[in-house]
A and B are shown apart, each in its own frame.
Chain A
């Protein structure tokens, strides 16, 4: 670089005279001698703790566990930054009144991080309202908020995330990530970016390399509207007067205690809308805060949209249903003798018993295999148990794996028992079976916990319990029926008793699920936020499909009840069970597919093209997405 710089009074000066050089031999970041004030961190003082009572000094917060002047080893560089505030929690400040939506922040970020068009650590969307010419658009630029309570870190099963005592940065290591995308589910701000091509997540790194040499992040330094700023959290930037925690379109900060503050003084219309396809708008409440409400963008017409039931999460539809079916069938089989369900218990002596156990094992393996293949990097599947301390996904995985081990053990010992009728073998079988039952219950519980996500209000309801456990009963009963009824027919067994028990079991499952869904719908009808929006989509875009599922579920429950209570002859019972099986399978597959496609996260508003699900879908449908510069990943086959 030229050694002379020109100051704005037009005089040529030597650079060395005006500014000292900050960097060391191996610079963490190439800080130029003439960087402008807007690009430099300038916090002099900071508060002791933030508004949530969390200490801002992170050495303090770590209770001495984190040493001072520790190197961050950015790209294995042992240099230690000279930023005097490096152990304080930092955060972005966004003056919403000023953002012009010029994309400079997003561009600077993507340029620095080398991101392809379909990935962006920072995105600008907007809300708008009013009537011409009294019209207001408010652009919102949003990246990672490096939260006090990083739900991504807690949710990640691989422990790819670290919250650092330096700057409080929540950083993610793509080399650890196996691409399950769970962090993208739990984050309310859509900060982690799952790249379906790379098969892994990456995210905002707070530009800690720039911070180490006293410079603000690239996005902030690039801002052309003087909207984005950065510094020690709870500090009011120069020329600003507010440090709000919310603006219209921003999710409830109580979910994660995000380290972002806002200024938004200019008055906004009482209602602002989103230009993207999400059926959500924001209405000003009595407290002056904007709350999400349903925006009936597509009217009230109901549709089937069967094709749209298929999503990226199809493997999870199969995984959850298969797991629940296998667990339900096995637990019933295992507990039947204790519960006095002789019609089921009798099956153990049949030649189909071991094949059935193997079938359950295969069913569970198939589900697990699909869910593993659904990972961005399936070969890293073993990392799924790395975060048992926090992640429900890790625990779910462990539970299911342990269930399979127990089931395998049980099967093995039962098989051994066929030849060696040692009491010890049977005890071992019972121990393995008991272990499988306990593991399965744990796995199921955490499977449910994995969906109780605050940033996904449609899921965050207790009906997930009734549905998941209900499915164990209903699908479990049907799996049992598939083996037990033919065997009973061949052996002249207690068909009537068996049908009564299986009918009752199916009824319990379907009724529980139905009751949960009924209460869920009631809750969604009164919930105005993203949950309500999901329900709106459920009742319109998928309205007919939704009605079909509900009808099937109700009819199935009724039929199961009839089978459980009314004395019917064998032919009627078998055909009744077959019909029940068909109806239940349809209802549950549709229901589970809906469960995944309907969820609307609390994410930030998108723009007309960028971060607009509706446009992304359209671009894929018409082939526009095949051009990489469109920034939409095409259908991956």
Chain B
């Protein structure tokens, strides 16, 4: 929630603040920002991850009653939870607010805790962005620990940013190097996150965090094997995370570019689609969707795209079969981690085409897919349904 009567817009304030604090030392930035009349109530948002101790320590020195928001996604490492308790106590922080997604939200959207496998953005939204949004209600600004050296979109990070024109986002460590962080921790003899010793250099949720190898970017261990680089609470200003090049469509002729020009609606959107959208309707389906629920729209949909979170999860094949059994005649696409070796299975289950990302297309080039383009040959099933 912004100030009751903001004097100026958030972006104007951000420009002014960046100018004013340009040459200040980090702890001065923090000290002054916490009491700057241009900024309303402030919270520190901390992951209690690998480098979080720096800001927590500074805040504790300036004002240990500063609200600290800790997002417990319910998928954190046990070490992180221990570390949070330890730091809170050692630093004497008096207002650490541990927030989590609501039980209802998790139950409804990710009851098996597997969403991270097939839709990481949605998982981050459920477990991080939405709870944070709620917890930030009433604050005019929040402090984050992001740094330019972490790379990706962060290389151009400013001290102050707008958060969707709603709030000011303060990045006191924007200019810090990795060495600065290490020096500060050493100089102040601060406790390290236990996983740092195991080569974790950026620590988020356990399913999506891995250790980092020599020479890798510090955040290489986050969402490894995915082009995702931000969790969703720090999305780029256009509201989307940075993405790799366009996906490849595979059909019996080989590789092709995307042919669908329209949007993809989610299953939940189907209740609110306009007449215009109906003219060219494409739907994204999770592989756990119930095809029967699509029945009211089944004749209007032109393209259904079924997510394959990981090639070893064969539910998508049965979903395709079920869609065909229910009479769906539009185009059917398998999207995600599908191997060339599964192309014949996909076609025989009722899919028309497969959508893969560039990385997979490079590792399994067109020839490997074309080798399975003879999917109609040697099909035992076909024998049983000869005249069908």
Q: Does B bind A?
A: no
- Could you tell me which A residues sit within 8 Å of B by CB distance? none
